[in-house]
């Protein structure tokens, strides 16, 4: 290394020195002059001068980047200040100085009073005491409206709860039905796989039988066609004998007859073989066709059995679903119908008698909607029967079906009460008769004789 290059490397600062010498973001700083320039300003070495110029250029680029960074920071601060000013302006505009409470205390806003039937009855009693009957009548109207609203809300909530119970039953039903479908789908796939494997085995067996028959028929054909031709051989021997005697014309005739005889014999043998081939091949094909047909029938019977079992299971599950819905509907209707206040259990929910008809009507509507929703009834069949009052359905009226159900229950209850009263009367009469018999003295023959 030359002395000039060594001086250049010593004069160039390291990366750590450059990082430490970076100016602050908010202040500009001039680049430091290398010690090499201070030590030897009169240096005329061209290589060293180029190196120093490159170093100065890098310092200038670094300073430019710092200046750009400072400018970006200043622009960002300006945007933050503008944003804060806009927020303050909006906040000041939205606040009314007159609404700010004096003394630093917040103004207490009165809570909106919620009317209840109890509070309205208190106001009504106060109005009656003040002889303000007009106000009392208005309050009574508000009480009636509020009671109707509460009753409607209570009935709707009860109907929603019933719908949720039905939805829970439906989820269980569809889960069980999905399990049934999956189980029988596995059975069907297994049966079809077994059917395919059996068919492949049957196909392999039939191919083997055809090959065996072909081999047997070929052996038979070869055996028949290689048998000696007696007439042909006889004529050939005669032709040879005739030729030895010098009668070549006659010998040629015998030879021609021998060829014709052989040709006829070959055709006859082929015709006979074709008949044998056709009969035996048709017999085998008929047998194989019968086996394929029987196998297909047997496989279809197995598949039909699986599908029938699946349909029966699905039908049973659908019937179970319908029964569960009907049971829940009957249970809910019975609870509404027989709901009454129990002094022993005052915490139990009771339903006012005047709400029962409307609630039973609403439950019936919900039940019909559930049946239509899950495909157990058609939309036409799920419609409610005509009301007692045509083209009018007040909530206090019941449908014919519900009315007949309630009447039948009432008749059964009355019948049971009548039977209990009758049985109690009969038991009291029997008891009185037994008591009279025990209290009356028994007359003996001796007493009667003395009396006479």
Which tens digit of pLDDT belongs to each residue from 162-194?
Answer: 888 888 999 999 999 999 999 999 999 999 999
Q: What percent of the chain clears pLDDT 70, i.e. is strictly above it? A: 54
More confident residue, 206 or 226: 206
* pTM summary value: 0.45
> Residue 448: what pLDDT?
43
Catalogue the E-assigned strands of 169-292.
Answer: none
In 3D space, the residue among 306, 371, 367 whose CA is nearest the CA of residue 159 turns out to be 367
> Residue 438: what pLDDT?
54
- Range with lowest mean pLDDT among 97-101, 186-190, 234-238, 262-266: 97-101
The total of other beta-carbon atoms located within 10 Å of residue 232's CB is: 19
Domain residues of the chain, as ranges? 133-337
pLDDT at 329 over 80: yes
Which tens digit of pLDDT belongs to each residue from 247-287?
Answer: 888 889 888 988 898 898 888 988 999 999 999 999 999 99
The total of other beta-carbon atoms located within 10 Å of residue 313's CB is: 17
Q: What angle do CA 313, 317, 321 make, to 5 degrees?
A: 170
The rounded distance, in Å, linking the Cα atoms of 325 and 367 is 8
Chain mean pLDDT for the chain = 72
Contact between residue 377 and residue 371 where contact means Cβ atoms under 8 Å apart: yes
In 3D space, the residue among 315, 307, 312 whose CA is nearest the CA of residue 187 turns out to be 307
- Name the helix (H) or strand (E) containing 55: helix 46-94
Where do we find the tokens 């109207």?
141
**Count, residues in the chain:** 452
């Amino acid at each position: 290394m030359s002395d000039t290059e060594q001086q250049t490397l010593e004069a160039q600062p390291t990366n750590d020195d450059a990082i430490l010498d970076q100016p602050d973001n908010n202040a500009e700083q001039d680049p430091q002059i290398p010690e090499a320039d201070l030590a030897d300003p009169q240096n005329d070495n061209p290589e060293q001068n180029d190196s120093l110029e490159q170093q100065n250029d890098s310092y200038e680029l670094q300073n430019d980047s710092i200046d750009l960074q400072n400018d970006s920071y200043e622009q960002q601060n300006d945007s933050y200040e503008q944003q804060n000013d806009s927020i303050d302006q909006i906040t000041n505009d939205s606040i009314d100085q007159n609404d700010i409470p004096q003394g630093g205390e917040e103004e207490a806003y009165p809570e909106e009073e919620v009317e209840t039937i109890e509070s309205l009855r208190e106001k009504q009693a106060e109005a009656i005491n003040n002889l303000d009957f007009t106000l009392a009548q208005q309050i009574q109207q508000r009480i009636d409206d509020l009671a109707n609203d509460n009753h409607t809300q209570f009935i709707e909530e009860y109907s929603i709860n019933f719908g949720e119970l039905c939805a829970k039953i439906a989820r269980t039903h569809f889960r069980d039905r999905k399990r049934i479908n999956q189980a029988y789908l596995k059975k069907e796939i297994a049966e079809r796989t077994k059917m395919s494997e059996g068919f492949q085995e049957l196909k392999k067996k039939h191919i083997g039988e055809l090959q065996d028959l072909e081999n047997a028929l070929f052996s038979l054909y070869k055996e028949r066609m290689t048998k000696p031709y007696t007439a042909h051989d006889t004529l050939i021997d005669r032709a040879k004998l005739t030729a030895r005697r010098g009668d070549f014309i006659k010998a040629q005739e015998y030879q021609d007859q021998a060829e014709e005889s052989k040709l006829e014999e070959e055709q006859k043998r082929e015709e006979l073989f074709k008949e044998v081939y056709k009969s035996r091949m048709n017999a085998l094909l008929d047998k194989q066709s019968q086996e394929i047909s029987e196998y297909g029938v047997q496989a279809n019977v197995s598949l039909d059995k699986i599908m029938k079992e699946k349909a029966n299971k699905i039908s049973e599950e659908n019937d179970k679903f319908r029964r569960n819905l009907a049971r829940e509907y009957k249970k809910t209707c019975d609870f509404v119908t027989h709901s009454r206040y129990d002094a022993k259990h005052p915490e139990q929910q009771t339903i006012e008698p005047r709400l029962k008809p409307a609630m039973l009507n609403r439950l019936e509507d919900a039940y019909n909607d559930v049946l239509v929703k899950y495909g157990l009834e058609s939309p036409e069949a799920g419609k409610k029967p005509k009301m007692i009052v045509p083209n009018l359905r007040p909530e206090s009226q019941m449908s014919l079906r519900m009315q007949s159900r309630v009447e039948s229950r009432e008749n059964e209850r009355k019948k049971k009460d009548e039977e209990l009263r009758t049985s109690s009367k009969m038991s009291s009469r029997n008891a009185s008769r037994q008591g009279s018999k025990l209290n009356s003295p028994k007359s003996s023959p001796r007493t009667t004789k003395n009396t006479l």
